[in-house]
Amino acid sequence: MPDETIMDGLFGLDGATWDIILAVITALIKAFVIVNGLLLAFAYMTLTERKVLGRMQARFGPNRVGPFGLLQPIADGIKLAFKEDVTPRQANFWVHMVAPMMALIPALIIFAVIPLGPEMRILGQPWTWYVAKINVGYLYATAIASVGVYGLVLAGWASNSKYALLGGLRASAQVISYELAQGLAAMTALVLAGSLNLYEIVNQQVSSGLPYALYLPFGLIAFVIYVVAGVAESNRAPFDMAEAEGELGAGFHTEYSGFKWSMFFMAEYVNMINISALATVLFLGGWWPIPTDAPGFIQGLGPIVFLIKIGAFMFMFIWLRATFPRLRFDRLMSLGWKVLLPIALVNLLLTSAVVALWPLGVWPFAQ
Amino acid sequence: MVVPGYERRETVAFVEVKSPPPPANALSGAVADVTALARGLGVTLGYMFQKPVTVQYPEERPRISARHRGRHELERHDNGLEKCVGCELCALACPSKAIFVEGAENPPDAPVSIGERYAKTYIVNMIRCIFCGFCVEACPTEALQLKKVFELADYTRESMIYSKETLLAPAPKREATDSWMPG
């Protein structure tokens, strides 16, 4: 907000009140842009995924609707919106209806704390690339992400179908298991930064000139664990046990159709974007290598760098799906509990020891 | 008779698959596993930069092999006379009874074929035909051929019953292959 507001006294309101009103309006506009941006990114992510999967299987992918198939997501959206929305007679109607929203809404609101770029001034006015800069930013993101899994479990339960129930149970078991490894890996970055504030975490990496993924070896180990757990967390191949179509029909969303089904679909893709964004913040240094206090024009490149990093993660998600077969459920669990969790725990302990022994910000293993 | 390119080849009955030796320790095993994963990722990435094998059919024409068994055609000699002598061997050979031939005496003053007889009626029911090519093998005069034409769909059953006029190669002489079609 302007430091010396020219609107002091306008409509009989003093400058401080105007600051609050403007802050609320700015936040609302940003939220609107972010939610719609995420949904647009989801739509074109489906197209990108189908295209890339196609090319990796030596075929073209969708190329009939519009030039290069670019209007395919719109055609899909129209189709989904007009499909019959079936609720099974034995299903619990209200839970069945609320579950998709419980999956989608948390996915959409996590992005509020993601700092896309450095704080800067546009036309002399301060501008921020996030909706909220809160001191427990990472905690907020994980807490909200955990709510999302309720959507999957409740969908499985409310459908009154054995496949859906098994899918929901698997989803909950898997997400809870991998949350541990993911949280411990993330804590490695948090210990290094000494803060839960996502903006501060990025700022630490940018000012030290090295993203935490390059803090060898602990940062890299934590980064790999975070990404593997993130793939499991978003229920994506090769960890898509919750919707193992060979055994469970479609898993937790077996009994969903039409728009409710597409809400689960959106939630999955938006969660992928969120995990990519969080991994970028925690380990890839956000807008690194753009300095936070660069002149305005260069600062403006920060969000672009950030989005490129997210895009690389999204490509990785597709690439993994194109390459690896699905894990068996018990192997998935043993990977999470017997491999990732102990490594993440030891890694965190060693990182904490190093951080405690050396002054904060000095990293003996940095290249 | 040995057709060039179709000589009998040495066949390999079994390829011995060697299972990899067990890893010496857990670390080298993990390294081997991760290497295998990376190689898998390399395979998919390599395919991404290859040209897709898809033939986008209506716009792109598929390559049809020289031995493709498509639409029937009754051939003619260079002088315009039909090769078919109405022997009905094709109809006898047909496993799905798709061919009906009615032979007749070849009029000496206005010959239709070069033989003593000719096919007065020649009908192929394309709904029944399974394109096995037995009729072509049975034909003693090499009159019947299966060409490369494969777009045979139509809207009525009646139009799928091909008369002699439909099947007969245009008189007097034409290219043996369908020149509009590549391959």
What does the pLDDT look like over A101-119, one tens digit per residue?
999 999 999 999 999 988 8
Q: Could you tell me if residue B12 is inside a domain? A: no
Greater confidence (A41 vs B176) lies with: A41
Name the residue range of residue A175's domain: 83-357
Q: Quick count: other Cβ atoms within 10 Å of Cβ B109? A: 4
Q: Quick count: other Cβ atoms within 10 Å of Cβ B41? A: 16
Name the residue range of residue B41's domain: 21-50
Q: Is B117 helix (H, G, I), strand (E, B) or coil?
A: strand
Q: Could you tell me if residue A152 is inside a domain? A: yes
Q: What is the per-residue pLDDT across A266-318, written as a single tens digit (0 to 9) for each? A: 999 999 999 999 999 999 988 888 888 878 788 888 899 999 999 999 999 99
Residues B78 and B157 in one domain: yes
Please give the model's pTM, rounded to 2 decimal places.
0.82
Mean confidence (pLDDT) of chain B = 85
What is residue B174's predicted lDDT score, i.e. its pLDDT? 47
Q: Could you tell me if residue B121 is inside a domain? A: yes
Q: Could you tell me if residue A72 is inside a domain? A: no
Q: How distant, in Å, are the alpha carbons of A25, A136, B89, B117, B119 from that of B106?
A: 97, 100, 18, 4, 9
Q: Are the beta carbons of B148 and B70 closer than 8 angstroms? A: yes
Whether the bond between B172 and the residue before it is cis, its omega within 30 degrees of 0, is: yes
Domain count for chain B, please give it: 2
Q: Could you tell me if residue B1 is inside a domain? A: no
Q: What is the DSSP letter of A255?
A: T
Measured CA to CA, the distance from residue A263 to residue A254 in angstroms comes to 13
Residues B103 and B36 in one domain: no
B53/chain A closest Cα distance in angstroms: 6
Residues of chain B above pLDDT 90, percent:
49
Residues B94 and B131 in one domain: yes
Q: Could you tell me if residue B61 is inside a domain? A: no
User: Does residue B54 sit at the A interface (CB-CB below 8 Å)?
Assistant: yes
Who's near A367: CB < 8 A, 6+ residues apart? A210, A214, A216
User: Are A319 and B45 inside 8 Å of each other by CB?
Assistant: yes
Q: Could you tell me if residue B144 is inside a domain? A: yes
How many CB contacts within 8 angstroms connect chain A with chain B? 32
Chain A residue with minimum CA distance to B43: A323
Domain count for chain A, please give it: 1
Q: State the best of B33, B44, B50 to mutate against chain A, taking most chain A CBs within 10 Å.
A: B44
Please provide residue A120's backbone torsions phi and psi, each rounded to the nearest 5 degrees. Answer: -145, 175
pLDDT at A367 over 70: no
Burial environment of residue A27 by CB neighbours within 10 A (0 to 12, 13 to 18, 19 or more) = middle
- Amino acid A117 reads G
pLDDT band for A20, please (50, 70, 90 cuts). Answer: confident
Residues B46 and B82 in one domain: no
Measured CA to CA, the distance from residue A100 to residue A152 in angstroms comes to 8
CATH number at residue B78: 3.30.70.3270
| Average pLDDT, integer, range A249-271 | 89
Q: Could you tell me if residue A181 is inside a domain? A: yes
List the end-to-end C-alpha distance of chain A, in Å, as a whole number: 40
Measured CA to CA, the distance from residue A41 to residue A44 in angstroms comes to 5
Residues B42 and B82 in one domain: no
Contacts of B42 in chain A (CB under 8 A): none
Mean confidence (pLDDT) of chain A = 88
Who's near B104: CB < 8 A, 6+ residues apart? B86, B117, B118, B119, B120
User: What are the residues of chain A with a beta carbon less than 8 Å away from any beta carbon of chain B?
Assistant: 52, 54-60, 319-320, 322-324
Residues B35 and B81 in one domain: no
Measured CA to CA, the distance from residue A288 to residue A207 in angstroms comes to 9
User: Does residue B56 sit at the A interface (CB-CB below 8 Å)?
Assistant: yes
Contacts of B53 in chain A (CB under 8 A): 58-59
User: Does residue B45 sit at the A interface (CB-CB below 8 Å)?
Assistant: yes
User: Are B56 and A57 inside 8 Å of each other by CB?
Assistant: no
B/e letters for A138-168, b = 16+ CB within 10 Å, e = fewer, are: bebbbebbeebbbbbbbbbbbbebebbbbbb
pLDDT band for A129, please (50, 70, 90 cuts). Answer: confident
pLDDT at B13 over 90: no
What is residue A17's predicted lDDT score, i.e. its pLDDT? 83
Q: State how beta strands B72-74 and B99-105 pair.
A: unpaired
Q: Could you tell me if residue A325 is inside a domain? A: yes
Q: State the best of B48, B50, B54, B57 to mutate against chain A, taking most chain A CBs within 10 Å.
A: B48
